[in-house]
Structure formats: structure tokens, C-alpha cells
Structure 1
């Protein structure tokens, strides 16, 4: 007889470019408002002092190329194209100059958002969970080891919906760059292999509907895609 009342949740893991092994996902941290133009389009002040975060469950993970249902409870379902950092080495209170030593690799990501629910929560000063941490909301391309790709401080980041460009920016415009994010976040959490950090989205976010095809890319890293299916 099993010690568990019911079967434990399976391990969630993402593919790694050039490897038969996969990357087991432990936690997903997301940086909010990390591009100035995006903060402005959301009608909020830019905060340059320090990053801020929200989280998603590992079980919100969806691989690139999937079709997901249009989620329940929203009439304003948005895409957000992001650079994702995959942590590969444990660390706590990491020095910014040594932060990149803790990076296993990088990937393209989509932070899918129930924008109407997020904005209601924001106005009421409540957590963003209903708007951000929901099923099939963390889309991830294959993870590219940093040993192959190098580290990312610049490069075009773009997103298209049905072939039409919606987001076009550059990683140089990140308010808080990858080393700074890792150093800051590790002051509050013991970062562990399997932790993902979505680093924020540039301006141009907007709604999608059933039948839409989302395609994104980051220069030197590759692409990501998602098809929006029928309503759940």
C-alpha cells in the first residue's frame, strides 16, 4: 500500500537543446515591469530601485508548440514575451559579479496573463494570482545551455500574432539585468537548480483570441510558439 492518499504530482520538466536529459522545474519566479516602456503602457511608475516579483506554479508549464485552451474567467487574455533564466547551481546572497556562475541556461518564455483579473487585483491591492498563476500560463521554449549560447545582455526580443509584429525591443532595455536580478532574488530565497526566472516583457502586450498563433524569438536563442484553442 502506498504511503500517499493519492498519486503525487509528476515531475514537470522542460527539454534541453542537444540533450536527451530534461530540466526539472522547481519554482517559477517572474519579474514585473522590467522594461520602462511596458511599465508606462500599464500606467504605472517605473521602479529602478529594485526588481519585484510574482510567482507561478511549476505545473503551469507548457512546452513551446502546444495548443492551450482560452482560459476561464477572463475576457482579456494577454501574451508577454520574455527571456527566461534557468538556474543550475544553488546559491544564497549571491554577489552580482558571480551571479552568472549560477545560470545553467536560457530560454524563450511567454507569461500568459488574464489581464482583466490582474488589473482588478492591482486596483484592490490584492495578490495577482488569479491573473498570473493559472493553468497553462507559463510557456517555455527549449532551454539552451549557457555553455552553448553564452549569456544575454543584448539582442532583439520580438513577438508576432498571426504573423503581425506586436512586440519588438532589445534586452539592453531591461531595467534590471540578469546578474542584478539573481543577486537581488537570492537575498530572499535560496536559489536552487530547477528554478526559472522570467525576466519581464517589453511594451506591446495585448489580447489574443481562440484561433490565434503566437510566435516569439530572441536573437541568438531561438523561438517559441503557442496556439490558442477553444474556450475552456
Structure 2
């Protein structure tokens, strides 16, 4: 199992997703983070999420893992060594209240098990990623499908921005953004994380 250092997430990085939540499309990368306690692997085991805090939404994303320390001018082919497909679980009602107050999103984004990850596998390069879609099945039905060709801010921009503002080193991971189609989680839902046509992770979610 891959040891994770920092978890960074890019918000509103697909235009249609920003619009479906009535958010403005950003003009520069919009980042937030999750604690390492948020990370959990979709290895077939049940995943516990909190009940009683309002609606929880799923957001499938392509996740990249950093393989070496960042330096100015490094390319994504040099710095990214592995990738995964993940779900950024969000306490949507909590997030809405935080947004109204102008508060950080941590309470809505950083709860335990809120960063569900497939196993990590070799990063095939940006061009190969552009030719392959990622998707999410909920109870056997596809609910989200995306491609990094639709990113507002591409992988290189995300890497450079993250490193400049927060630092970036080996074992850091970045959730690169979710396409449209996010929706609510119900206790007992079975989620399958898909890369191309391959199932790379599965878990059932229990609200408790």
C-alpha cells in the first residue's frame, strides 16, 4: 500500500462541473487539502462515512502521485510516477454553509475516509491519459465519466501551481478535479473506480 504524505485537491477544474453546482469557472487553479486520515483504499472492504451531517456527494477524479521533489522546470513526465482513480467525498450541506460564511472547506472535505483511492499504478504519460477515460459506477450504473482533455488547468499547470504555493515532494498526491455528474451517496452503495475499461478499485459505502 502506497504511503501518502500530503493530499492536495483541485476544485472546479472541469467547466461543466463548476456550472452544475452554480459556481464560477475559476481563472487560476483553486486548491484545497485533506488530512492523511482522509485516505482509504477501495480494496473491496466496506468504507465508513459519517451519517447525520447532511448529504454526502461522490466526485470521481484522476489522482497523480509525485515521485521526486519538485524543482522549477521539471516536467510532469519526470515528476509523476504513479496514478490512481479516486473519489473526493464531500459533505455538501456542510460545504454550502461554509461557503455562505466564507469559511474554509475542511469540515466538508477532510473527514476520515473522504479520499477513497484505487491502488496506484504506473503513470503512462500525459498523452496516454488523454486517450483514456476514467469513470465511476454506482451500483453497477455509470454516473460519471471524464477525460483530462477537458481539464481547465492541465497537469503541468497544476503541478507548478501546487509546488509554488504549498511545496511538492515525493509521496504527495493531487486529486485533479471531477467531471460533471456528481451526486448523493446512500448507505450500502457499491462504487467501482474505472480506468479505461478496467476496474481498479471497488468498495461499498456505509453511513454510520
What is the TM-score of this pair, normalised by structure 1? 0.83
State the Cα RMSD in Å: 1.7
- Measure, in 1, the Cα distance between the counterparts of 2:69 and 2:197: 26
- The answer to whether residue 121 in structure 2 is matched with residue 144 in structure 1 is yes
| Per-residue deviation, residues 158-192 of structure 1 (Å, max 9, x unmatched) | 11211122112322111111111001111113211
Equivalent residues of 1:25, 1:58 under 8 A apart: yes
Query: What is the number of residues matched between the two proteins?
Result: 205
Deviates more, 1:153-162 or 1:194-203: 153-162
Query: What are the ranges of 5 or more consecutive residues in structure 1 without an aligned counterpart?
Result: 1-14, 16-22
- Aligned partner of 2:6 among 18, 27, 34: 27
Q: CA deviation at 1:218?
A: 2.3
Give SS of 1:100's match. Answer: helix
The ranges of structure 1 where at least 4 consecutive aligned residues each deviate by more than 6 angstroms after the TM superposition are none
Tell me what 1:50 maps to. 28
- Measure, in 1, the Cα distance between the counterparts of 2:51 and 2:185: 14
- Aligned partner of 2:49 among 70, 76, 80: 70
- Measure, in 2, the Cα distance between the counterparts of 1:154 and 1:129: 33
Q: CA deviation at 1:53?
A: 0.7
Tell me what 1:120 maps to. 97
Give SS of 1:186's match. Answer: helix
- Measure, in 1, the Cα distance between the counterparts of 2:113 and 2:202: 13
| Per-residue deviation, residues 57-92 of structure 1 (Å, max 9, x unmatched) | 112111112312231442211111000010011014
- Measure, in 2, the Cα distance between the counterparts of 1:70 and 1:137: 7
Give SS of 1:122's match. Answer: helix
Q: CA deviation at 1:222?
A: 4.9
Tell me what 1:83 maps to. 62
